[in-house]
């Protein structure tokens, strides 16, 4: 109940009337006097006597954000992060896989010995458990290395420098310089990247950032990229430089993603979302000594466990689904074979195959489970006790399923470009509240992924390579 | 060895971290500040939560809420997005501004960067335009010291007309004093007289002409003067809030001491 004696409209009318009588510049006057007062107050309570620390920060900045060295240093840092990840993740991944599959075999035979029906053993151990085992062993080691290292860079204060280095590129593309920051968040998780676009003021530039965030690979997709890099790129180089070559190829894919971000932003800002890039001020925070405990907490609890938990939540039903597809027959053919055969022509046309597409369909809830899903489909009902090292995976893919370098390259491209995961799509809807932009955010990358893969596949097939 | 007298003394009241347990709080405290001033560190240190702290601008884009206890009272702490001002229309600035206006915190802590006081004070002055009940937390005193910058916090406090406390949130230095000041301002025991920028004479007259009308429409609205100024400036958001009855509703709630959480959360639900 309102006990108002004056209506809002009356207040508004009166204010409009009064406003007309005012000099329009009073806002500028107010802002100017605010700044003046702030300066006056600060002048009275602050006393500075020079110190070396500030100069030191600025000297580092002169290198890290310099016109010529800024970008190369950034690429080197990024490459170093991937190199450390690739180098460190391989062995723990194998150990985890070995342990999990030993558990699977032992548990399955125990189920059989106590007389559990075959389908229960299969569903629980060869379906759900196997899905979980693949997700944990493929994803946990790279994440447990990648996230802490990335968080150190974040804590040091490097991310705003990245935005600074990339600002001119984004401006040329008609986008906001802060999009570089939201893009950096996207490396962690695209859904988080989409939410972080709230730091961009103009709705037009914010939509650009939302729609293109998907073009940076999130950590759900990094394991896919890293695995492919190790299996196909590293294998082509002598062991001494294999890890370096693999890291370089991941950097190349990331760079390609940045190019797509810029290209798509450019195209959108000249079509659907036309307008000028707005100016902004970006503050360079001082370099701060990272706090070890906080980095471990943030990167392991907030990021690694969070992402892994989400992956496991989707991997369990996905594992069950694959097992059911592979063990339910219709007309003498399993459902898995039927759906793979259905997707095969499309897959082949774009240089992939039916299994990969099926894996992507099943992995819509979370990109993290693409590789595990794919492996489960390829290996079918076979025991996978032996398939734990990257070489053995390569053997299966190349030897038994006809993968070529084109398959690997196209899978990397497809993984980089294809539609965002369900969580990200939902986040886009939450942030834009528009079915149209959400649909565009989901379908545009998917269409682009098909087009690019189709083009590479056709080019490779036409050229006598 | 505490005697009974000591227990009641603010200096001996213990800060109790209460995490996200925000039910039945006695006071609501808002945490505002420029980006990258250590706002989230202050938030985490007070509530014992572990909101992600990152060394870059614009990390906190949503509101985080937590609670702490002090001197037998429970406080809900709302971490607002970091903003440079409350004047423009970006979403994070709007979230902060709406909360200060419609959430009506019992105390607003403005975290400022001691190494860049002048720029940070712009926001402090803008917050003080909206509310009397504020405490300035002069954070990053350690960095200021390293850079050879001395901040005379006492004189700053005197000039601003609200308490100012030097802190190093990462090591929890000064936080006990900060909480004591917050408690004083929230309970009304500490009287503040914020420094405000005087508008030009004709604007002052216009404000004086408008404030009685606003008071007539929404009796008890504490920031009537600020609302008048915004209306004269043609602020669309404030116009909308006026027409939709949001401002009037706010004043209604102000007069009946409703439990703080439910109504205040509702008031800013649109901002999230």
- What's chain B's average pLDDT? 78
Kindly determine whether residue B233 and residue A178, on different chains, have CB atoms separated by under 8 Å.
Answer: no
pLDDT digits (tens, 9 = 90+) for B38-48: 888 898 888 88
Q: Are residues B205 and B123 in the same domain?
A: no
State how far the Cα of B110 lies from the Cα of B191, in Å rounded to an integer. Answer: 17
Top residue of A5, A8, A47 to mutate, by most chain B CBs within 10 Å, is A8
The DSSP H or E segment spanning B166 is: strand B164-166
- When CB atoms are compared, the residue of A41, A50, A298 closest to B159 is A41
**Is the model's pLDDT at A434 over the cut of 80?**
yes
Which residue has 């099926």 as its token pair? A358
User: Average of pLDDT values for A404-427?
Assistant: 87
Poorest-pLDDT segment among A421-425, B104-108, B147-151:
A421-425
Q: Are residues B230 and B139 in the same domain?
A: no
Q: Supply the pLDDT for residue A405.
A: 82
Please give the residue that has the higher pLDDT: either A307 or A282.
Answer: A307
State how far the Cα of A426 lies from the Cα of A210, in Å rounded to an integer. Answer: 12
How many angstroms away from the CA of B72 is the closest CA of chain A? 30
State how far the Cα of A173 lies from the Cα of A167, in Å rounded to an integer. Answer: 10
Kindly determine whether residue A19 and residue B115, on different chains, have CB atoms separated by under 8 Å.
Answer: no
CB–CB of A400/A443 below 8 Å?
no
Q: Are residues B215 and B157 in the same domain?
A: no
Q: Are residues B209 and B162 in the same domain?
A: no
- When CB atoms are compared, the residue of A8, A33, A282 closest to B248 is A8
Q: What percent of chain B has pLDDT over 90?
A: 25
Kindly determine whether residue A4 and residue B56, on different chains, have CB atoms separated by under 8 Å.
Answer: no
End-of-domain residue from the set B157, B187, B217: B187
Closest CA to A86 of A185, A279, A177, A222: A222
How many angstroms away from the CA of A213 is the closest CA of chain B? 16
Q: Are residues B55 and B164 in the same domain?
A: yes
CB–CB of B67/B25 below 8 Å?
yes
Q: Supply the pLDDT for residue A381.
A: 55
State how far the Cα of B259 lies from the Cα of B264, in Å rounded to an integer. Answer: 9
Q: Are residues B207 and B159 in the same domain?
A: no
Question: Which residues of chain B have a CB within 8 Å of the CB of A8?
Answer: 217, 242-243, 245, 247-248
User: Average of pLDDT values for B2-14?
Assistant: 49
pLDDT band for position A222 (cuts 50, 70, 90): confident
Q: Are residues B219 and B140 in the same domain?
A: no
Q: Are residues B260 and B137 in the same domain?
A: no
A279 touches chain B (CB under 8 A): no
Question: Which residues of chain B have a CB within 8 Å of the CB of A181?
Answer: 56-58
State how far the Cα of A440 lies from the Cα of B125, in Å rounded to an integer. Answer: 43
Q: Supply the pLDDT for residue B257.
A: 39
Distance of CA A418 to the CA centre of its chain: 11
Q: What percent of chain A has pLDDT over 90?
A: 14
Q: Is residue B234 part of a domain?
A: yes
State how far the Cα of B109 lies from the Cα of B105, in Å rounded to an integer. Answer: 10
Q: Supply the pLDDT for residue A262.
A: 93
Kindly determine whether residue A8 and residue B247, on different chains, have CB atoms separated by under 8 Å.
Answer: yes
Q: Are residues B180 and B205 in the same domain?
A: no
Q: Supply the pLDDT for residue A388.
A: 60
CB–CB of A160/A336 below 8 Å?
no
pLDDT band for position A207 (cuts 50, 70, 90): very high
CA-to-CA separations, B173 to B141, B168, B220, in angstroms, rounded = 9, 5, 38
pLDDT digits (tens, 9 = 90+) for A123-147: 888 888 888 887 788 778 877 887 7
Q: Supply the pLDDT for residue A382.
A: 52
Domain of residue B85, CATH code? 3.40.50.300
Q: Name the 3-class secondary structure at B82.
A: coil
How many angstroms away from the CA of A274 is the closest CA of chain B? 19
Question: Which residues of chain B have a CB within 8 Å of the CB of A47?
Answer: 149-150, 152
Q: Is residue A42 part of a domain?
A: no
The DSSP H or E segment spanning B111 is: strand B107-113
**Is the model's pLDDT at B267 over the cut of 80?**
no
CB–CB of A143/A304 below 8 Å?
yes
State how far the Cα of A37 lies from the Cα of A351, in Å rounded to an integer. Answer: 65
- When CB atoms are compared, the residue of B125, B209, B252 closest to A37 is B125
Distance of CA B187 to the CA centre of its chain: 14
Kindly determine whether residue A46 and residue B160, on different chains, have CB atoms separated by under 8 Å.
Answer: no
Q: Supply the pLDDT for residue B264.
A: 36
- What's chain A's average pLDDT? 82
**Is the model's pLDDT at B255 over the cut of 80?**
no
The residue range of the domain holding B235 is: 201-271
**Is the model's pLDDT at B52 over the cut of 70?**
no
User: Average of pLDDT values for B58-62?
Assistant: 49
Q: Tokens standing for A79?
A: 């490459």
Chain B nearest-CA residue for A50: B148
Q: Supply the pLDDT for residue A51.
A: 58
State how far the Cα of A81 lies from the Cα of B111, in Å rounded to an integer. Answer: 34
CB–CB of A417/A448 below 8 Å?
yes
Kindly determine whether residue B248 and residue A154, on different chains, have CB atoms separated by under 8 Å.
Answer: no
In degrees and rounded to multiples of 5, residue A281 shows phi and psi of -105, 135
End-to-end CA, chain A? 80
pLDDT digits (tens, 9 = 90+) for A27-67: 777 778 888 888 899 888 888 876 555 667 778 888 887 87
Top residue of B38, B44, B56, B91 to mutate, by most chain A CBs within 10 Å, is B56
**Is the model's pLDDT at B154 over the cut of 50?**
yes
**Is the model's pLDDT at B216 over the cut of 50?**
yes
Give the sheet arrangement for strand B27-33, strand by strand.
Answer: B16-17, B64-70, B73-79, B27-33, B107-113, B134-139, B164-166
Kindly determine whether residue B57 and residue A33, on different chains, have CB atoms separated by under 8 Å.
Answer: no
Q: Supply the pLDDT for residue A280.
A: 63
Q: Is residue A127 part of a domain?
A: yes
Q: Is residue B246 part of a domain?
A: yes
ipTM over 0.90: no
**Is the model's pLDDT at A447 over the cut of 50?**
yes
- When CB atoms are compared, the residue of A7, A18, A294 closest to B232 is A18
Question: Which residues of chain A have a CB within 8 Å of the CB of B241?
Answer: none
- When CB atoms are compared, the residue of A7, A38, A282 closest to B118 is A38
Q: What percent of chain A has pLDDT over 70?
A: 92
Q: Supply the pLDDT for residue A300.
A: 78
Q: Is residue B30 part of a domain?
A: yes
| HSE-up of residue A330 (Cα within 13 Å, Cβ side) | 7
Chain A nearest-CA residue for B116: A42
User: Average of pLDDT values for A210-224?
Assistant: 85
pLDDT band for position A446 (cuts 50, 70, 90): very high
Kindly determine whether residue A22 and residue B117, on different chains, have CB atoms separated by under 8 Å.
Answer: no
End-of-domain residue from the set B152, B187, B222: B187
pLDDT band for position B87 (cuts 50, 70, 90): confident
pLDDT digits (tens, 9 = 90+) for A287-328: 777 777 777 877 777 677 777 787 788 788 888 888 888 888
End-of-domain residue from the set B187, B220, B238: B187
- Per DSSP (E only), the strands in A324-395 are 329-330, 333-334
How many domains does the structure of chain A reveal?
A: 1
Q: Residue A234 has what DSSP assignment?
A: G
**Is the model's pLDDT at A264 over the cut of 90?**
yes
State how far the Cα of A265 lies from the Cα of B235, in Å rounded to an integer. Answer: 31
CB–CB of A73/A161 below 8 Å?
no
Q: Which of residues 374-403 of A touch B (CB under 8 A)?
A: none
pLDDT band for position B31 (cuts 50, 70, 90): very high
Query: What residues are paired with A47 via a beta bridge?
Result: B150
Size of interface A-B (CB pairs under 8 A): 200
**Is the model's pLDDT at A418 over the cut of 70?**
yes
State how far the Cα of A371 lies from the Cα of A200, in Å rounded to an integer. Answer: 34
Kindly determine whether residue A44 and residue B146, on different chains, have CB atoms separated by under 8 Å.
Answer: no
Please give the residue that has the higher pLDDT: either A268 or A292.
Answer: A268
User: Average of pLDDT values for A186-206?
Assistant: 81
Q: Tokens standing for A426?
A: 């939902």
Kindly determine whether residue A22 and residue B203, on different chains, have CB atoms separated by under 8 Å.
Answer: yes
| Cβ-based neighbours of B96, under 8 Å, separated by 6 or more | B32, B80, B81, B83, B86
| Cβ-based neighbours of A148, under 8 Å, separated by 6 or more | A295, A296, A299, A300
Q: Supply the pLDDT for residue B114.
A: 93
Q: Is residue A183 part of a domain?
A: yes
Poorest-pLDDT segment among A47-51, A223-227, A322-326, A353-357:
A47-51
**Is the model's pLDDT at A444 over the cut of 90?**
yes
Please give the residue that has the higher pLDDT: either A439 or B200.
Answer: A439
**Is the model's pLDDT at A401 over the cut of 50?**
yes
User: Average of pLDDT values for A411-436?
Assistant: 88
Q: Supply the pLDDT for residue A214.
A: 93
**Is the model's pLDDT at B225 over the cut of 70?**
yes
Closest CA to B58 of A92, A362, A176: A176
- pTM confidence score: 0.63
Q: Is residue A29 part of a domain?
A: no
CB–CB of B133/B108 below 8 Å?
yes
Q: Is residue B22 part of a domain?
A: yes
Positive or negative CA dihedral for B57, B41, B77, B139?
A: negative
How many domains does the structure of chain B reveal?
A: 2
Q: Is residue A18 part of a domain?
A: no
How many angstroms away from the CA of B55 is the closest CA of chain A? 5
How many angstroms away from the CA of A285 is the closest CA of chain B? 7
Chain B nearest-CA residue for A291: B170
Closest CA to A134 of A374, A407, A398: A374
Q: Is residue A130 part of a domain?
A: yes
Q: Supply the pLDDT for residue B258.
A: 37
Q: Are residues B139 and B264 in the same domain?
A: no
Chain A nearest-CA residue for B51: A298
User: Exposure string (b/e) for A337-358, b if CB count within 10 Å is 16 or more?
Assistant: bebbeebbeebeebbbbbbbbb
Q: Are residues B53 and B144 in the same domain?
A: yes
State how far the Cα of A104 lies from the Cα of A319, in Å rounded to an integer. Answer: 13
End-to-end CA, chain B? 47
Q: Is residue B31 part of a domain?
A: yes
Closest CA to B40 of B17, B65, B75: B65
How many angstroms away from the CA of B105 is the closest CA of chain A? 22
**Is the model's pLDDT at B265 over the cut of 50?**
no
Chain A nearest-CA residue for B34: A283
Q: Residue B173 has what DSSP assignment?
A: B
The residue range of the domain holding A146 is: 63-274+290-462
CA-to-CA separations, A209 to A170, A179, B56, B94, B236, in angstroms, rounded = 10, 6, 18, 20, 26
Kindly determine whether residue A2 and residue B210, on different chains, have CB atoms separated by under 8 Å.
Answer: no
SS3 per residue for A178-218 = CHHHHHHHHHHCHHHHHHHHHHCCCHHHHHHHHHHHHHCCC
Question: Which residues of chain B have a CB within 8 Å of the CB of A291?
Answer: 170
Which residue has 């450019």 as its token pair? A266
CB–CB of B15/B175 below 8 Å?
yes
**Is the model's pLDDT at A392 over the cut of 90?**
no
**Is the model's pLDDT at B251 over the cut of 60?**
no
CB–CB of A2/B245 below 8 Å?
yes
**Is the model's pLDDT at B253 over the cut of 60?**
no
**Is the model's pLDDT at A243 over the cut of 90?**
no
Q: Is residue A147 part of a domain?
A: yes
User: Average of pLDDT values for A148-175?
Assistant: 82
State how far the Cα of A138 lies from the Cα of A92, in Å rounded to an integer. Answer: 9
pLDDT band for position A370 (cuts 50, 70, 90): confident
Distance of CA A161 to the CA centre of its chain: 20
- What number of other Cβ atoms are within 10 A of residue B14's Cβ? 10
């Amino acid at each position: 109940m309102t006990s108002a004696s004056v209506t809002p409209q009356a207040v508004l009318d009166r204010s409009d009337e009064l406003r007309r009588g005012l000099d329009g510049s009073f806002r500028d006057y107010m802002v100017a006097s605010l700044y003046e007062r702030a300066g006056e107050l600060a002048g009275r309570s602050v006393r500075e006597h020079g110190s070396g620390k500030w100069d030191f920060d600025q000297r580092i900045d002169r290198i890290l954000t310099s016109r010529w060295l800024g970008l190369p240093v950034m690429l080197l840092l990024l490459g170093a992060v991937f190199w450390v990840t690739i180098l460190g993740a391989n062995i723990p991944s194998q150990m985890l896989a070995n342990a999990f599959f030993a558990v699977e075999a032992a548990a399955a035979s125990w189920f059989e010995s106590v007389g559990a029906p075959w389908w229960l053993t299969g569903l629980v151990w060869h379906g759900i458990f196997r899905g979980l085992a693949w997700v944990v062993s493929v994803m946990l080691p790279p994440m447990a290395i990648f996230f802490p290292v990335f968080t150190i860079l974040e804590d040091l204060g490097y991310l705003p420098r990245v935005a600074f280095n990339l600002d001119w590129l984004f401006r040329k593309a008609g986008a906001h310089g802060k999009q570089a920051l939201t893009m950096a968040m996207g490396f962690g998780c695209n859904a988080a990247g989409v939410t972080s676009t709230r730091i961009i003021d103009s709705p037009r530039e914010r939509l650009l950032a939302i729609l293109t965030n998907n073009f940076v690979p999130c950590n759900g997709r990094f394991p896919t990229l890293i695995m492919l890099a190790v299996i196909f790129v590293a294998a082509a180089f002598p062991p001494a430089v294999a890890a370096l070559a693999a890291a370089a190829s991941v950097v190349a894919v990331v760079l390609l993603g940045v190019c797509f971000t810029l290209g798509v932003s450019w195209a959108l800002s000249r079509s659907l979302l036309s307008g000028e890039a707005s100016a902004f001020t970006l503050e360079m925070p001082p370099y701060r000594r990272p706090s070890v405990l906080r980095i471990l907490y943030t990167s392991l609890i907030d990021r690694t466990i969070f992402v892994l938990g989400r992956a496991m939540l989707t991997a369990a039903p996905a594992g069950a689904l694959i097992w059911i597809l592979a063990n339910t027959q219709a007309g003498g053919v399993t459902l898995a074979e039927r759906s793979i055969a259905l997707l095969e022509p499309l897959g082949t046309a774009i240089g992939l195959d039916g299994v990969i597409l099926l894996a992507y369909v099943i992995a819509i809830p979370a990109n993290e489970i693409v590789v595990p899903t794919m492996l489960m489909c390829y290996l079918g009902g076979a025991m996978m006790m032996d398939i734990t090292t990257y070489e053995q995976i390569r053997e299966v893919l190349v030897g038994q399923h006809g993968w070529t370098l084109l398959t690997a390259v196209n899978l990397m491209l497809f993984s980089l470009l294809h539609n965002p995961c369900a969580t990200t799509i939902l986040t886009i809807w939450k942030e834009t509240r528009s079915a149209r932009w959400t649909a565009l955010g989901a379908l545009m990358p998917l269409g682009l992924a098909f087009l690019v893969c189709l083009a590479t596949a056709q080019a490779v097939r036409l050229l006598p390579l | 060895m505490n005697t009974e007298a000591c227990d009641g003394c603010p200096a001996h009241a213990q800060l109790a971290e209460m995490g996200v347990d925000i039910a039945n709080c006695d006071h609501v405290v808002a945490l505002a500040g420029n980006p990258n001033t250590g706002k989230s560190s202050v938030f985490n240190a007070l509530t014992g939560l572990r909101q992600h702290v990152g060394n870059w601008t614009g990390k906190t884009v949503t509101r985080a809420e937590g609670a702490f206890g002090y001197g037998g009272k429970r406080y809900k702490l709302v971490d607002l997005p970091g903003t440079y001002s409350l004047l423009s229309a970006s979403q994070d600035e709007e979230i902060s501004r709406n909360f200060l206006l419609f959430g009506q915190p019992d105390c607003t802590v403005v975290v400022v960067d001691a190494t860049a006081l002048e720029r940070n004070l712009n926001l402090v002055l803008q917050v003080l335009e909206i509310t009397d009940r504020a405490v300035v937390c002069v954070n990053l005193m350690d960095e200021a010291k390293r850079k050879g910058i001395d901040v005379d916090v006492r004189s700053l406090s005197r000039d601003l007309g609200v308490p100012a406390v030097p802190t190093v949130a990462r090591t929890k230095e000064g936080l006990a004093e900060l909480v004591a000041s917050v408690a004083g301002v929230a309970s009304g025991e500490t009287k503040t007289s914020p420094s405000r920028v005087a508008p030009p004479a004709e604007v002052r007259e216009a404000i004086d002409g408008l404030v009685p009308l606003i008071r007539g429409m929404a009796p008890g609205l504490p920031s009537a003067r600020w609302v008048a100024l915004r209306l004269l400036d043609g602020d669309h958001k404030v116009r909308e809030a006026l027409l939709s009855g949001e401002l009037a509703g706010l004043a209604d709630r102000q007069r009946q001491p409703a439990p703080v959480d439910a109504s205040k959360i509702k008031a800013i639900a649109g901002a999230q």
